[in-house]
Structure 1
Amino acid sequence: MQTKIAGTTMPVLEITLEAGERIIAEGGDVAWLTPGLEMETSTGFGSRGKGGFMSGLKRMVGGGQLFLTQYTASSSGGFVAFAAQLPGTIRELAIDSADEYMVQSGSYMVSTPDVEVSVGVQKKLGAGIFGGAGVVFQKLTGNGTAWVQLAGEIVEYELQAGQSLLIHPGHLALFDSTMELEFASIKGIKNKLFGDSMFLAHLHGPGHVWLQSMTPAKLAASIEPYLPDKSSSSSNDN
């Protein structure tokens, strides 16, 4: 298996498979591929044999899809490409019992068959955070490789034992699953969502954390003023 990440602002992950090699991805996320790759969709992929449908439900709770698609190369091999959905970067993660990760919901792209994607953290913080959906992180476990898409520019920190960071939940993209995560209401920061307080993620070391400069919610808010007004269009039609 060979991989290449091409592009800059909107990168593309290209995976070349040898005969019989397989990868797993969420259904519908493929951008292009060579003919001859066998595609099969099931709830059981990525579950490491632990009950396919229940694993699919856990993925859904974590913001993923119920069904995953497996791509298997024929005797002649082939490649499949996946495009990032937001401006940012694609990162490759080696996953084993010593390296398990929490990734923000919607960031998981592709993995090798023995990586399991499940819900890791689910926290309601109020209607203003992520459109009322709360904060959700998917947990990546197993033994293999996964690729995730992170939004905007990425800043990394290695926190030592006793160190911690307060982070806006939308900017917390990826972190070691062994790190302790709490959510706290911080007084003294006036904002339009919570009045005189703001909810921040409190992440404790030791461990590695990846922070993203862009959040999907802020990107959507910046684009919204330029979108057509559907209500006025409906009125004109009548």
Structure 2
Amino acid sequence: MQTRIMGTTMPVLEITMGPGEQVIAEGGDVAWLSPGFGLDTSTRFGSGGRGGFMSGLKRALGGGQLFLTEYTAPREGGFVAFATDLPGTIRELRVDAADEFMVQSGAYMASTPQVEVSVGLQKKLGAGIFGGAGVVFQKLAGTGTAWVQLAGEITEYDLPAGRSMLIHPGHLALFRAGMGLEFTSVRGVKNKLFGDSLLLAEIHGPGHVWLQSMTAEKLASAIEPYLPDRTPSSSSGNG
């Protein structure tokens, strides 16, 4: 199996596979692929070779999809490609017992069959964060390779034991599982969502964190003033 990440602002992940090799991805996320692939959709995929419907249900409740699709290369091999949803970057992660990861919901792109995708953390944060939906991180465990999409520019920090960082939840894209994470309200910061307090994630070392400069919510807020007004005019029903 060979991978190629193409492009800059809106990159594409291309995975070239030999006969019978497989990758798992969320249904409908494929951008293009060569002919002959076997496609199978099931709740059991993304469970690291274990589980079934309940594993898929837990994944769906955590913001992922109930069904994942397995792509199996034909006898002559082939390639499948996945495009990012937002401007940013694609990262390849090697997953094993010593390296498990927590990734923000929506960032998971694809993985090899023995990687387990599950809900790692789900927290209701209030109406100001993600439209009131709270924050969800999916856990990548098992053994294999996973690919994730991170938004905007990426800044990485390696936190030693005893050190911590305060991060806006939307910018915390990826971190190593096992790091302590809690949410705290910081008073004295005026902002349009929380008045005189700001809700931040506090993450504790040791471990590595990946922070993204863009969030879907900030992008939507930036372009909203330029979208057409779909509200019916008061005179629309007067002939």
TM-score range, shorter chain: over 0.9
Partners of 2:95 and 2:140 within 8 A in 1: yes
Superposition deviation, residue 192 in structure 1: 1.3
Q: Identity of paired residues, percent?
A: 75
2:54 alignment partner in structure 1: 54
Matches within 5 A, 1:1-238: 1-232=1-232, 236=236
Alpha-carbon distance in structure 1 between the residues aligned to 2:155 and 2:227 = 31
Assess, with a 3 A threshold, how the Cα gap between structure 1 residues 235 and 86 changes in structure 2: closer, same or farther.
Answer: farther
Superposition deviation, residue 49 in structure 1: 3.9
Alpha-carbon distance in structure 1 between the residues aligned to 2:39 and 2:134 = 33
Alpha-carbon distance in structure 2 between the residues aligned to 1:237 and 1:171 = 45
Judging by fraction of residues, say which structure has more helix: 1
Q: TM (normalized to structure 2)? A: 0.97
Deviations 1:57-90 (A, max 9, x none): 1111221100000000111000000000000000
Deviations 1:92-142 (A, max 9, x none): 000000000000010000000000111111111111100111011010000
| 3-state SS of paired residue (2:106) | coil
Partners of 2:48 and 2:117 within 8 A in 1: no
Equivalent AA in structure 2 for residue 87 of structure 1 = P
Assess, with a 3 A threshold, how the Cα gap between structure 1 residues 234 and 12 changes in structure 2: closer, same or farther.
Answer: farther
Equivalent AA in structure 1 for residue 126 of structure 2 = G
| 3-state SS of paired residue (1:57) | helix
Deviations 1:179-209 (A, max 9, x none): 0001000011111111111100000000000
Partners of 2:103 and 2:139 within 8 A in 1: yes
Greater than 6 Å deviation, 4+ residue runs: none
Superposition deviation, residue 51 in structure 1: 2.3
Equivalent AA in structure 2 for residue 116 of structure 1 = E
Question: CA RMSD of the aligned region, Å?
Answer: 1.3
Equivalent AA in structure 2 for residue 161 of structure 1 = A
Q: TM (normalized to structure 1)? A: 0.97
- Could you list the runs of 5+ residues in structure 2 that have no partner in the other structure? none
Superposition deviation, residue 235 in structure 1: 6.7
Superposition deviation, residue 233 in structure 1: 6.6
Assess, with a 3 A threshold, how the Cα gap between structure 1 residues 237 and 28 changes in structure 2: closer, same or farther.
Answer: farther
Alpha-carbon distance in structure 1 between the residues aligned to 2:233 and 2:80 = 40
